[in-house]
Amino acid sequence: MPSSRRDLLRWQFDLTWSLFEYHLDRLEPAHFRREAAALSWTVRPDDAGRWVPDWADTEPDPVPVPTIAWLTWHVGWWWSVAIDHLQGRSPRERTDVHWPGDGEPTVSWLRELRTEWSTVLDRLSDADLDEVAPFPWPRDPEHTVAHLLAWVNAELMKNVAEIGQLRLVQDASS
């Protein structure tokens, strides 16, 4: 039984991550940029060869179906920024977070973020959880670091489910 709020949030994160590992272990390079629908968001190389995600500042209607590549970039982006905030660093801009590429480079990147996040979680006390959250909301005293940790868990769980479902559909239709 978790002995503190932080321990409970850590338990929830570890559970979600274990579900992600199931899919990460099974992702092949061909899974990443396969588009499941005509209207889709993915990552594309720019003139310098960096992978750039499709993006709109206002969510389009209908919403494009993201590829696994886009979803993994998205996880890397919001997670990097959450880590930046909790470590007191200037947060990266969305355009400064580059997707590493199909297959192992992205899987390794996500696992490195998990390790960095775990380090951040381990150094937080329950008292730290009551501090005002620096992200993803504007500074609002009602949103604490505990809310931020719960948001990371929820966002990760949602993205893991999306990645897993896309992978399962691709494998079932091959």
Q: Topology of 5-53+63-172 in CATH?
A: Four Helix Bundle (Hemerythrin (Met), subunit A) (1.20.120)
Q: Give the ranges where 25-144 is alpha helix by DSSP (H).
A: 29-32, 68-86, 104-123
Mean pLDDT for the stretch of residues 113-128: 95
pLDDT at 162 over 60: yes
pLDDT at 156 over 70: yes
User: Residues 86-91: contacts with CB within 8 Å, 24+ apart?
Assistant: 86/120, 86/124, 86/134, 86/145, 86/148, 87/120, 91/135
Q: Give the chain's largest Cα–Cα span.
A: 52
pLDDT at 115 over 70: yes
Q: What is the pLDDT of residue 39?
A: 96
**What is the spatial distance between Cα 146 and Cα 152, in angstroms, rounded to a whole number?**
10
Q: How confident is the model at residue 1 (pLDDT cuts 50, 70, 90)?
A: low
Mean pLDDT for the stretch of residues 138-165: 92
pLDDT at 141 over 90: no
Domain boundaries, the chain: 5-53+63-172
Query: What's phi and psi for 53, nearest 5 deg?
Result: -75, 150
Q: How confident is the model at residue 157 (pLDDT cuts 50, 70, 90)?
A: very high
**What is the spatial distance between Cα 144 and Cα 130, in angstroms, rounded to a whole number?**
5
pLDDT > 90: percent of the chain: 89
- Owner of token pair 């931020």: 148
Mean pLDDT for the stretch of residues 34-61: 95
pLDDT at 73 over 70: yes
Q: How confident is the model at residue 134 (pLDDT cuts 50, 70, 90)?
A: confident
Mean pLDDT for the stretch of residues 79-107: 95
Rounded to a whole number of angstroms, the distance between the first and last alpha carbons of the chain is 43
Mean pLDDT for the stretch of residues 91-116: 97
pLDDT at 111 over 70: yes
